[in-house]
Amino acid sequence: MWPPGPALQPPTSPAAATGQHPAARPVSLQCRPSMCPARSLLLVATLVLLDCLSLARNLPVATPDPRMFPCLHHSQTLLRAVSSMLQTARQTLKFYPCTSKEIDHEDITKDKTSTVEACLPLELTKNGSCLASRKTSFMMALCLSSIYEDLKMYQVEFKAMNAKLLMDPKRQIFLDQNMLAVIDKLMQALNFNSETVPQKSSLEEPDFYRTKTKLCILLHAFRIRAVTIDRVMSYLNAS
């Protein structure tokens, strides 16, 4: 008989070997929505965003009125033409008061048209409420009509002035025909009917110094108005 050996022990569990309680098991990395508020909020936000994107795809897209394209093109051309003409006048008439600091600024459209007031952006005239489409159309028509009247007045003044400059023996300066042509093109694009303003004919001997000084005054004023017209056309084309 062999000597009795040690009593056999039951196999030790891994939990017992590590000293852990048998009930202590690794906690799952997943959790319920009620236990993970941050994850729940992320899920809700994602669903809302997807819903908004789906709604945005179904909204109508605003497109510019194609009728404004010619007006915008002509207004940009007009601004370049009058700026070039003003630069030419400054260089040619350097012995005349022709800079913005030297001239007496004059607006021939004052009290005759209301372009600045009529062409305010519509957002500035809503006073906190939405404009009806009828009123919006009326204000746009009033704005464009006022621009047309401005162009007509300057066209008459420039043509009368150019007729005097052509009589100058020095033949020092004349109005750019391209500028006069683009004024006419923009007026045609605006397509308003108004009374023709007759040109004033004078029997007096022309004062060429005064005429050239007046030319500088008109060019400065007209360039400011051309900037306004270009901004209005850009705004209307974009909206």
Euclidean distance between CA atoms 77 and 66, whole angstroms: 18
pTM, two decimals, is 0.67
Helices (H), 114-165: 115-118, 133-165
Q: What are phi and psi of 109, to 5 degrees?
A: -95, 0
- Distance (Å) of CA 42 to CA 47, 48, 53, 139, 191: 9, 10, 16, 47, 57
Distances (CA, A) of 176 to 53, 85, 90, 95, 179: 53, 6, 14, 20, 5
pLDDT tens for each residue of 158-190? 999 999 999 999 999 999 999 999 999 999 999
- Residue 80: pLDDT band by 50, 70, 90 thresholds? very high
Under a CB-based contact definition with an 8 Å cutoff, are residues 197 and 153 in contact? yes
Cα(112)–Cα(38) distance, rounded to whole angstroms? 66
d(CA 82, CA 224): 10
pLDDT tens digit string along 86-118? Answer: 999 999 999 999 998 988 888 899 888 888 888
Burial of 37 (0-12, 13-18, 19+ CB in 10 A): exposed
Domains defined for the chain, CATH in brackets: 67-111+146-193+204-237 (1.20.1250)
Specify the higher pLDDT residue, 146 or 205: 146
Give the whole-angstrom CA distance, residue 44 versus residue 41.
5
Over range 129-158, report the average pLDDT: 80
The better pLDDT of the pair 228, 125 is held by 228
Give the mean model confidence (pLDDT) for residues 20-29: 46
* Amino acid 237: pLDDT: 84
